[in-house]
Structure formats: C-alpha cells, structure tokens
A and B are shown apart, each in its own frame.
Chain A
C-alpha cells in the first residue's frame, strides 16, 4: 500500500467517523452492552461466590489447620522427648548413686575382711615367732652349756698338758668369765 493510498483511505474513514459517533460513546449498543455485562458479571459472581471461592477458602483453611495441627504435634513430641530425657537423666543419677553405694559397701566389707584376716595372720605369725624364739633361745642356751663344758674340758686338758695344777672350780670360774666377756 502506498502512502498516498493510505492517506486517501484514512481520509475516507475520517469522513465516515464524522457521521457515526465515536464507537465508545455510541448509544446504539448501550442496552446490549449493559444487558450482557449484567449476564456475564452476575454469572461470574455467582460461580465465584457459590462454588469457586468457598472451595479455595476451604483448601486454605484446611492447609492452615493441618499446619497448626502438625506444629502442635511437633511441640507435643518435643515436650515428650524433653520429659523422656529428664527421666533418663534422673534414672542415670539414681543408678549412679546406687552403684556408688554398692561399691562403697563392698569396699567397706573388703576392708573389714582384710583387717580381720590380717589380724589373725599377724597373731599366728607372732605366736609362731614367739615359739621359734623360745626354741632358739633354748637351743642357744643348750649350745652355750655345751660350749662351756667343751671349753672346760679343753682348758683342763691344756692345763694338764702344761702341768699346772688347778682346781676344777677355778678352771670353771676362769672359763665362764672368759665366755662371759666374749659373749
């Protein structure tokens, strides 16, 4: 289309437009427009307000309910778990106390037993030691007596060999004094 042809056509339309009113203000169709507006607007209004909006509202309310119910349930379970933990801690503390008590009792019993046994063994040992000592001292005494006799015999024999006369009592005295000084 050339520019000239276009201008000619718009001019023709312009001429038409002078006769016919501007379409938006043309009263020819006002009644039809209002009638069909009422039909479709009311149709949409009733479809929305009777069916669609209540459904959407129901879904939204249901979701809000289920979310709050879930949150309540979560809070309830959380409380439950906190309580369970508290109970567990309490039972742990009780068990620990009982264990300590048991171990203390056992320790005390063991100590008593140990002390008892130690005492008995000590007493037995002391008795045995005493007996042994008695026997040792007796043996020693016997041995010492024998030593004195042997010394006396030896001294007498040496004196006899030397040809010195001495009473048996003097020899005995001298020997025992020497033995005493030497221990």
Chain B
C-alpha cells in the first residue's frame, strides 16, 4: 500500500474506506500550497474529458436530422434548459451554461466513480462543498447585484404579521445559511454511503467465500446487482438534484419576494 500504485491498476483493499484515499501522482506545490496532481485530479480529468468528448461529438455534427449521439446531446441541452426555464424563469437562462456545467461535471464524476478502481471525486466534501459554496456565492452576488438590498427581502416574506416576523426571519436566515451545507453534504454523503455499501457487500462476498461459506456468499453477491443499478440511478439523481436546487436558489436571487 505504500507503493505508488498506478490509479488504474487494481489495489487489493479489504477496507471500505480505502477507495476514498487520495495519493499524489505528480508532486507539485505552489505558493506554499500542496497542489499535487492526485488520483482524484486524474479521475476528475477523465470525467471532464469524457463529458467534453461526448458533448463535443454531439455538437460537432450539426445535422438537421441528428444521429444518436447528436440526439443525446440535444436532449441534454433541452433537458437542462427546460429545467432552468421552468424553475428559475426566462431570466434564469443567463445561468444556463453554469447549471449545465454543474450537472454534467457532477454526473460525469459520479458515473466515472461507478467503475471499479476509479476514484469518485464527488465523494469528498472539499469538492462538493466547494461547488455548493460557488452556487451560493453566485446566488448572493447576483441577488444583491440585481435587487440591491431588496435581496434581503428574501428573509422577510410579505404579508406576515410583525410578531411572527421575529420568529420567521431568524428561521429564514438559518435555512438560507444551511443551504450550502445541505447542498454539498447531500451529494457527498450519497456518493460516500453508496460506495461504502457496494464495497462492504463486495468484501462480504470475498470474506464468506474465503471462509468456505460459498452458499451464503451468493446472498451479498446477488444483492450487489440491484444495488449497483441503484447507485447508477443515485449518480444521475444527485447530479439532477444539485442542478435543480441551484435553479431554485437562482430563482430566489432573481425574484426574492416570493
């Protein structure tokens, strides 16, 4: 385990946490920070290249009658643009490239992470938390740029009697402050828990078979199949939820008085 293992080669690990370990591939530090190119960076590069490759291929064939990949690319486009339009309104389409990138960045990382020996970059709070913070900073920044101090009307809903305001405003502020935490935590926890579960079940299979209980080892082995399918669904769903919540928050920035 102390050997510098190539990222794509199997590492024999019976530890469900081992898959989340980061190790440097190319050491590099700048400005006193350790900015090494790690296995996490490598798999982020892989998912970025795959996503851009897929979408680039889809966009390069600008045919009036699309082939499969172009059709998929166009479906992705309309899927996200419809989501932005229906959630954040026409004005929200300004943020369409950002939401589209968020969705595909997360989806790519989640899906790439589903392959054995790959690293799930979205299973780290640093990554998901940073994405969530960027979303909230954009929401707050645009909200204040667009509405000035009116943006803070978000915390004081209209038509609420004054005594209730004393309770409501702190609650609204707390719920707003919780947004980046829940947004980042949801994705991180889902990815982490899913991968631990898969790994645990896989370890059970090896363990039971190793102990000579082959008949019993079939149970987690068969169970792995639907759970793997479920994890693919979760990979998509969490990317969707992240993008959708981003749109919901952007709507607050555009129209704070709702």
Contact = CB atoms under 8 A, between A and B. Distances in A.
Interface string B194-235: 000000000000110011000000000000000000000000
Interface in B62-95: 62-64, 66, 70, 73-74, 77-78
Given A6-B207, A44-B52, A60-B78, A32 B62 contact: no
A103 interface: no
Specify which of A2, A32, A62 lies most central, judged by the most chain B CB atoms within 10 Å of its CB. A32
B237 interface: no
Interface of A is mostly: helix
B101 A41 contact: yes
A52 interface: yes
A40 B17 CA distance: 25
Bin the interface of chain B by size: 35 or more
B51 interface: yes
Given A24-B125, A34-B126, A53-B77, A6 B101 contact: no
Interface in B97-146: 97-98, 100-101, 104-105, 121, 123-127, 130-131
B85 to A, nearest CB: 13
A37 B98 contact: no
B5 to A, nearest CB: 15
Given A52-B52, A55-B59, A36 B14 contact: no
Contacts of B56: 47, 51-52
Contacts of B207: 1, 3, 6
Contacts of A35: 33, 35
A26 B211 contact: no
A118 to B, nearest CB: 79
Contact of B192 (A24, A26, A36, A41): A24
Interface of B is mostly: helix
A32 B38 contact: yes
B254 interface: no
Given A59-B70, A60-B77, 13 more contacts: A6-B207, A6-B210, A10-B15, A24-B20, A32-B33, A33-B22, A34-B126, A40-B41, A41-B101, A51-B59, A53-B100, A58-B62, A60-B78
10 contacts: A24-B188, A32-B33, A32-B38, A33-B40, A40-B105, A47-B52, A48-B97, A53-B100, A55-B59, A59-B70
Closest 7 CB pairs of A and B: A49-B97, A55-B59, A36-B41, A3-B211, A23-B20, A31-B33, A33-B126
Interface of B: 14-15, 17-18, 20-22, 24, 33-38, 40-41, 44-45, 48, 51-52, 55-56, 58-60, 62-64, 66, 70, 73-74, 77-78, 96-98, 100-101, 104-105, 121, 123-127, 130-131, 188, 192, 206-207, 210-211
